[in-house]
Amino acid sequence: MALPTGRYRLGTESGRIVLRTFRDGLAATAGHDLIIELPRWSGELVVDDDKIPESLVARIDVGALVVREGTGGLKPLTDRDRREIATTARRQLASDQHPEAVFTANRFDMSGDNGVIEGNLSIRGVTRPLRLQVSQPEPGSYRGTGTLVQSAYGIKPYTAFFGALKVRDAVDIEVNAVIAGSGDDSG
């Protein structure tokens, strides 16, 4: 996973951040497993002279989240359902008070086409450690996956039908980014 020395700008032009939620509870068959995209984000990766990542900071606009897909459930999601779910998610994330989530990596352990990035993720003004498993499916293309626990950030997972339908506390994160060419040292 060696990259040329330099600074790399990341964002929606070169990547995608997706959250996957899963239903739980006695009435789980009524709900949907969701794919939620965070379509507005930016970041910077700095690679040192030894071609080892030195720092990574990503800023994510949580107010821009979009529900892309819902699988399972008793009936398909409508556009109205998607909008209502997105509104509820923004409220749970307190996006009016904390419009941005920030990931700051502080440890990189890379080996071949795989590795681990560890850092801190701040959501709703709460910062917790986050670990991403990273792979390189093809040259210049990177995929990071991890799991965050909503309650660790003070987020109460969604429930309905008096708790019989709920969203699982653990949410999967998938980040895909293309880092092409050489880094820009101009900063």
- Is 129 a member of any domain? yes
What is the Cα–Cα distance from 68 to 170, expressed in whole angstroms?
A: 19
Q: In the chain, how many domains are there?
A: 1
What is the Cα–Cα distance from 184 to 100, expressed in whole angstroms?
A: 25
Which structural domain range is residue 99 located in?
6-178
- Is 75 a member of any domain? yes
- How do residues 7-61 score in pLDDT, each as one tens digit? 999 999 999 999 999 998 877 888 899 999 999 999 999 999 988 889 999 999 9
- Is 57 a member of any domain? yes
- Is 183 a member of any domain? no
- How do residues 48-82 score in pLDDT, each as one tens digit? 998 888 999 999 999 999 999 999 988 999 999 99
Tell me the backbone φ, ψ of residue 43, rounded to 5 degrees. Answer: -160, 175
Count of alpha carbons within 13 angstroms of residue 174, beta-carbon side:
9
pLDDT band (50, 70, 90) for residue 150 = very high
Please check the confidence at residue 182 and state whether its pLDDT lies above 60. Answer: no
- How do residues 109-130 score in pLDDT, each as one tens digit? 988 789 999 999 999 999 999 9
The two structure tokens encoding residue 64: 């821009």
The two structure tokens encoding residue 11: 């964002």
- Is 141 a member of any domain? yes
- Is 187 a member of any domain? no
- Is 56 a member of any domain? yes
Give the CATH number of the domain where residue 162 resides.
2.40.128.110
**Strands of the 165-167 sheet, one edge to the other:** 23-24, 165-167, 159-160
